[in-house]
Chains A and B, each alone.
Chain A
Amino acid sequence: MVDHLLLMIWHALLVALFFAFLWRRSSRDRLRLFAKTFLLMAVGSVVLGWLMFAVP
């Protein structure tokens, strides 16, 4: 079964992990960038989805 939300979260997780390791060197910085990117993508997508209810 394909769960859209799960796929979106999985995608956000992969991308966040990728950029955390590409752009940061220390574990602490990586964790911070990972958390920021992941939350922005995952939560941001859900919020955007809700806002789009207003669009006919």
Chain B
Amino acid sequence: MTKDTGRSTGGVEAPRARTSPLLLLAAWLVPGLGHWILGKRRRALVFFTVVVGAFLTGMLVDGELGTPRPGEPFSWLATLACLGNGLLYVARLVWINGLSGALGGLPFGLDGGGDPTAVGFAYGNTFLYTGGLMNLLLMLDVSDIARAEKD
């Protein structure tokens, strides 16, 4: 007689559920949209307000969007952080460079806007990076919630 160990899979782990790429895309494009789709409406509104608030503040105090520059490896990190803002980042880049300028300027010819002589320049950059990084964290959170690893 064999003893029941409680393992129904015979030691083989069940495959982990995967998050829909469309859900992650939605979460990236519009801050809070992933949570909204998953039914976490209150949280979605708070996250939207926080990320958009950070982005707008960064923009209003003359912060510069991160764009890649040749020979400056840290500019790629700044780009990644700002890229986290999703549609806001894309829209702002198109606003500054124009559509043809934004498409034609890839990857090294993009203007990130901002004014380095402005009093709020460094603060503005911080707000822009923070907003983007927060939205990237939200994407991870959405993935966890979708896979039922958290509520």
Contacts and interface: CB of A to CB of B under 8 A. Distances in A.
Contacts of A7: 57, 61, 120, 123, 127
Mostly, the B contact residues are: helix
Contacts of A17: 46, 50
B143 interface: no
B120 A14 contact: no
Contacts of A8: 123
B67 interface: no
Given A11-B127, A11-B130, A22-B141, A2 B54 contact: no
Interface string A3-37: 01001101100110110011001000000000000
Contacts of B47: 18, 21-22
B137 A22 contact: yes
B72 interface: no
A4 B43 contact: no
Contact of A2 (B51, B119, B138): B119
Interface string B83-121: 000000000000000000000000000000000001110
A2 B151 contact: no
Mostly, the A contact residues are: helix
A29 to B, nearest CB: 13
A8 B122 CA distance: 11
B134 interface: yes
Interface of A: 2, 4, 7-8, 10-11, 14-15, 17-18, 21-22, 25
Interface of B: 43, 46-47, 50-51, 53-54, 57, 61, 118-120, 123, 126-127, 130, 134, 137-138, 141, 151
26 contacts: A2-B61, A2-B118, A2-B120, A2-B123, A4-B123, A7-B57, A7-B61, A7-B120, A7-B123, A7-B127, A10-B57, A11-B54, A11-B127, A14-B50, A14-B54, A14-B130, A15-B130, A15-B134, A17-B46, A17-B50, A18-B47, A18-B51, A22-B47, A22-B137, A22-B141, A25-B151
